[in-house]
Amino acid sequence: MTVYTFNLLVGFEPNGVDVAQASRARMLRDLGVAARFIFTTWPSPEKLAYYLSLGHRDEELLFAHLAFTDQETTVPQKTVGALQMDFQLTRLDVVEKTERAIRYQFADNSALTFHLDPYHKDCVRYVDYLSNGSTLKREYYGACKIATEYFQYGSVVRRTYHHQDGRIAFEELRLSGNWLYKLGPEILTSHTEVMRRFLLKLSLKEEDLVLLDRASRMDFARPLMEKDDRSKLAMVFHSEHEFENGQLNYEYYYVFKYAKRFDYFITATEAQKEVLEQTLAKQECENIPIYSIPVGHLEELTELPGDRRPFSVITASRLDPRKRIDLAIRVVAQAHKHIPALQFDIYGKGGEADNLRHLIQELEAQDYIHLRGHAGLKQIYPYYQVYLATSQWETFGLTLMEAAGAGLALLGFDARYGNPTFMKEGENGYLVPYSGKRPEEELVKELADKLVQLFNRDLAPFHQASYDLASCYLKTKVQEVWKQMLIEMGQLDRKEM
């Protein structure tokens, strides 16, 4: 069997779904289950590097448009020496050389830059053709050239995908802001039709499992829901699907409209599974199996050799309006009146950064509330005592899991679904009743009171309770959940394990 994941997203900010997909890759890899993670659109070098940095491997990535070629691998194998021979370059042409790139300059102000792959020694990932400092063309390499991009005024206007002998197998052309697709003698006018052809190329089998991580406004979703092969189709819910007022999240409109086309649904928590069962009952789709499986895992519990910083609070997330970091700032500002030694660090980046910075200044809190930007937090969490979460909802909450895994006490709203999963009232923290109808001043005051209450307690039992809870999310435990789910789905033979 093969598990296919749709899709690795291009053109959007990094988010928790990306981390969840990377965690899945590790789980399936360790179980010995074949898995492919699909780029339905061609990624920029930066986007590809981002996914590889999360733990994806080249051999597990699938580029949809290369399915129309005879390319057998996209793993970089073309060495610097081999390409230098192909381009008839010499050492005299080299003007700059680093660990990541080699630049060749020519008399006519044109240049070539070989961009080296960090995961495959001495191999080239892509080559840029430049004239007077502007990129004109970019070639991507595996064992040979696999794709070429052509630029105009800094934007890609044409992209070709090559057979192993260099012939063009598939082509994308940008005309007046729209893309056209040339497949042999055919001109395809929509990416949805391209994805339909790609699915045929996949030749999905009965034992294969297709996972949709995203379906809203995605041009591969309709072909997948209309597929007539016998492979299994599952939707993974990464966000709230039904709001408190009973309205469905627009992101899942077509998922519910065509719910009967899915073989399984997957949620990240048992709490969302229960709500999803109720939602499906309203849609008269009660018989679709639902599995709950964590979207992340912990490699280990992280501890600090010494003491944690006293009166230290942390939060970490995208700086997005839904995360309501502004409320967290107000909470700490109020609590600071009772605990002058309080320090609050906010990790993450996003569009709300300037607004939050202004709010901190408005509250004259610059001395004890700090925006720390993006950082690798695994070794940072253990220095803190309390994690504060003020988001309106979290379907899982990877940072909540990580904070618990570092033994922090947790404080936040009793809002679906991640907070009550990782925050246990009076055991490893406190939950404040949440409703969109409650005045914000009331919510802030209650959280601030609970924060003061936490620091007036012996935090050691709270820290141990978080460690105990987080142990359920260690890699081996989550891997076992994946194995049991695949066995129950019938996609995996118990005897093979």
The DSSP line for 288-302 is S-EEE--S--BSS--
Query: In this structure, are residues 462 and 409 in contact, taking their beta carbons and an 8 Å threshold?
Result: yes
pLDDT greater than 70 at residue 11: yes
pLDDT at 87: 95
Query: Same domain for 372 and 461?
Result: yes
User: Do 336 and 430 fall within a single domain?
Assistant: yes
Could you read off the pLDDT of 156-197 as tens digits, one per residue? 999 999 999 999 999 999 998 899 999 999 999 999 999 999
Q: What percent of the chain has pLDDT over 90?
A: 84
> What is the reported pLDDT for 495?
58
Mean pLDDT value across residues 48-64: 96
CB atoms under 10 Å from CB of 268, counted, come to: 26
Same domain, 279 and 331: no
**Average of pLDDT values for 404-409?**
98
This prediction has a pTM of: 0.91
What residues pair up with 264 in beta bridges, in sequence order?
Answer: 234
Same-domain pairing of 175 and 212 = no
Question: Is there a single domain that holds both residue 246 and residue 170?
Answer: no
Same-domain check for residues 54 and 94: no
* 125 and 256 assigned to the same domain: no
Phi/psi of residue 153, nearest 5 degrees: 55, 40
Q: Are residues 46 and 105 in the same domain?
A: no
The CB density around residue 479, as the number of other CB atoms within 10 Å, is: 17
Structure tokens at 400: 């909540």
Domain with residue 271: its CATH number is: 3.40.50.2000
Would 199 be classed as within a structural domain?
Answer: yes
The pair of structure tokens assigned to 396 is 């899982």
H or E stretch covering 101: strand 101-105
Determine, yes or no, domain membership for 362: yes
Indicate whether 394 belongs to any domain: yes
Q: Are residues 86 and 27 part of one domain?
A: no
> What average pLDDT does the segment 241-260 reach?
87
Domain contains 478: no
CB 384 within 8 Å of CB 308: yes
Cα–Cα distance, 198 to 7 (Å, whole number):
13
Sequence-separated (6 or more) residues with CB below 8 Å from residue 369: 329, 332, 333, 344, 346, 360, 363
The confidence band for 494, taking pLDDT boundaries of 50, 70 and 90, is: low
Q: Which of 237, 263, 292 is the last residue of a domain?
A: 292
Q: Take residue 438 and report the two structure tokens written for it.
A: 């409650």
Region 415-438 average pLDDT: 94
For residues 436 and 330, membership in a common domain is answered with yes
End-to-end CA distance of the chain: 13
Name the 3-class secondary structure at 383.
helix
Query: By the 8 A CB rule, do 394 and 418 touch?
Result: yes
**What confidence category does residue 304 fall into, taking pLDDT thresholds of 50, 70 and 90?**
confident
For residue 390, being part of any structural domain is answered with yes
Instruction: Report the DSSP pairing between strands 94-97 and 61-63.
Output: unpaired
Comparing 98-102, 205-209, 244-248, 424-428, which segment has the lowest mean pLDDT? Answer: 244-248
* Separate counts of helices (H) and strands (E) for the chain: 14, 23
**Mean confidence (pLDDT) of the chain:** 94
Q: Is 379 helix (H, G, I), strand (E, B) or coil?
A: coil
Inside any domain, residue 157: yes
What are the start-end ranges of the H helices in 337-437?
A: 353-362, 398-405, 418-422
- Domain holding 137, by residue range, is 80-182
Give pLDDT, residue 496.
Answer: 56
Among 406, 410, 402, CA closest to 454: 410
Q: 231 lies in a domain?
A: yes
What pLDDT shows up at residue 433?
Answer: 94
Give CA torsion, residues 413, 419, 425, 426, to 10 deg. Answer: -100
Distance (Å, whole) CA 156 – CA 325? 37
pLDDT grade, residue 497 (50/70/90)?
A: low
Number of domains in the chain: 3
Confidence label for 38 from pLDDT (cuts 50, 70 and 90): very high
Q: Tell me, yes or no, whether 467 lies in a domain.
A: yes
Length of the chain: 497
- pLDDT above 80 for 22: yes
pLDDT by residue (tens digit) across 436-476? 788 999 999 999 999 999 999 999 999 999 999 999 999 99
Contact 427, 421 (CB under 8 A): no
**Where is pLDDT greater, at 8 or 305?**
8
**Which ranges of 142-203 would DSSP assign to H, the alpha helix?**
191-202
pLDDT (tens digit per residue) in 189-240: 999 999 999 999 999 999 999 999 988 878 899 999 998 889 999 999 998 9
- Of residues 243 and 291, more confidently modeled: 291
Angle, alpha carbons 113-118-124 (nearest 5°): 40
Single out the residue of 220, 198, 191 nearest to residue 69, CA to CA.
198
Domain boundary among 134, 163, 182: 182
Asked if residues 64 and 135 have their Cβ atoms less than 8 Å apart, the reply is no
Secondary element (H or E) of residue 107: none
Residues 327 and 395 in one domain: yes
Report pLDDT for 15. 84
Q: Can you tell me the distance from the alpha carbon of 145 to that of 147, in angstroms, rounded to the nearest whole number?
A: 6
What are the pLDDT digits (tens) for 314-346?
A: 999 989 998 999 999 999 999 999 999 999 999
* 386 and 281 co-located in one domain: no
